[in-house]
Amino acid sequence: MKFTLNIWRQPDAVTAGKIHTYELDEVSEDMSFLEMLDVLNEDLNAKGEEPVAFDSDCREGICGSCGLMINGEAHGPEVTTTCQLHMRSFKDGDSITIEPWRADAFPVVKDLVVDRGAFDRIIQQGGYISVNTGAAPDAHATPVPKDKADRAFDVATCISCGACVAACPNGSASLFVGAKITHLGELPQGQAERDTRVVNMVAQHDHEGFGGCTNIGECTAACPKEIPLDVISRLNWDLHAALRHGK
């Protein structure tokens, strides 16, 4: 297969970037999207041009490192992570535009690499249950109804890749925050801090420059783990409850 690749190149956070165009031959349909970029980089290296920087680590769709806007879609045309997208999803001769996540709260570091540190800072504001090591009761002390445990798991599958933010016209991270609020809020262990958690995490979300949610739903459509939109309802419900409780 043969492709024309339009790739965002930006030397660092402060220098303006622009699209460069590369032709790439001899791509196999069994290559993952990132392996295709590996081949491009070997090519560029051989020609004396600096390879394209992009994030990836596990390449199994679970670490959340990778994430590219591919032809304007977060993670490309399939519901999966960029590393699990394969070239058979494209047609021979296609032109593919590759850009970094687009969001004010995710500044570009270099080429296709962005800074998602804002997610860590949101978690710092309450995305946890406060229990010191060694202070836990027996694991069977508190049964958890299976439907609640399953729901907590379903939303805990979020990999913090940031596709929701990149896909949202408002650059909102409500799906990310809602997933954590729901995960911990479904469990009995998470109740003690439920009010303060939502208030503090939302405040940090806004402080980081993420936009508000206007129920567009692009986030859940782009989410490789298919986190449902209703976690944002849960987020709003919990936030209102917390405000009613005077938090």
Partner 1 sequence: MPDTTNTFDASHTGRLDDEYDDAAGYYVDGDPIADTKAPGGPLEERWDTRQFEARIANPANRRRLSVIVVGTGLAGASAAATLGEAGYVVKSFCYQDSPRRAHSIAAQGGINAAKNYKGDGDSVFRLFYDTIKGGDYRARESNVYRLAQVSRNIIDQCVAQGVPFAREYGGLLDNRSFGGVQVSRTFYARGQTGQQLLIGAYQALERQVAAGTVKCYTRHEMVELIVVDGRARGIIVRDLVTGEIETYFADVVVLANGGYGNVFFLSTNAMGSNVTASWRAHRKGAYMANPCYTQIHPTCIPVSGAHQSKLTLMSESLRNDGRIWVPKNKADCDKDPRDIPEEDRDYYLERIYPAFGNLVPRDIASRQAKNMCDEGRGVGPEVEGVRRGVYLDFEEAIGRLGRDAIENKYGNLFDMYARITGEDPYSVPMRIYPAVHYVMGGLWVDYDLQSTIPGLFVTGEANFSDHGANRLGASALMQGLADGYFVLPNTIRDYLAEGPFEKVAEDDPAVVEAQESVRSRIHQLMNTNGTRSVDSYHRELGNIMWEYCGMERSADGLKKAIDLIRTLKQDFWRNVKVLGAAETMNQSLERAGRVADFFELGELMCLDALNRRESCGGHFRAESQTEDGEALRHDDTYAYVAAWEWAGADEKPVLHKENLTYEFVEMKQRSYK
Q: Is 191 in the site for partner 1 (CB under 8 A)?
A: no
Near partner 1 by CB under 8 A: residue from 21, 72, 92, 145:
145
Phi, psi of 21 (to 5 degrees): -110, 135
Q: Within a 10 A sphere around the Cβ of 160, how many other Cβ atoms?
A: 19
Q: Which residues 93-132 are close enough to bind partner 1 by CB under 8 A?
A: 109-110, 113, 115-117, 119-120, 123-125, 127-132
Q: Draw the binding track, 5-24, toward partner 1 (x: CB under 8 A; -: no contact).
A: ------xx------------
Residue number, 69 or 87, with CB nearest to partner 1 = 87
Near partner 1 by CB under 8 A: residue from 183, 197, 205, 234:
183
Near partner 1 by CB under 8 A: residue from 74, 96, 159, 165:
159
Q: Which residues 38-77 are close enough to bind partner 1 by CB under 8 A?
A: 38-39, 42, 45-46, 48-51, 53, 55-60, 62-65
What is the nearest approach in angstroms of partner 1 to the Cβ of residue 170? Answer: 23
Residue number, 36 or 239, with CB nearest to partner 1 = 36
Residue number, 4 or 124, with CB nearest to partner 1 = 124
What is the nearest approach in angstroms of partner 1 to the Cβ of residue 55? Answer: 7
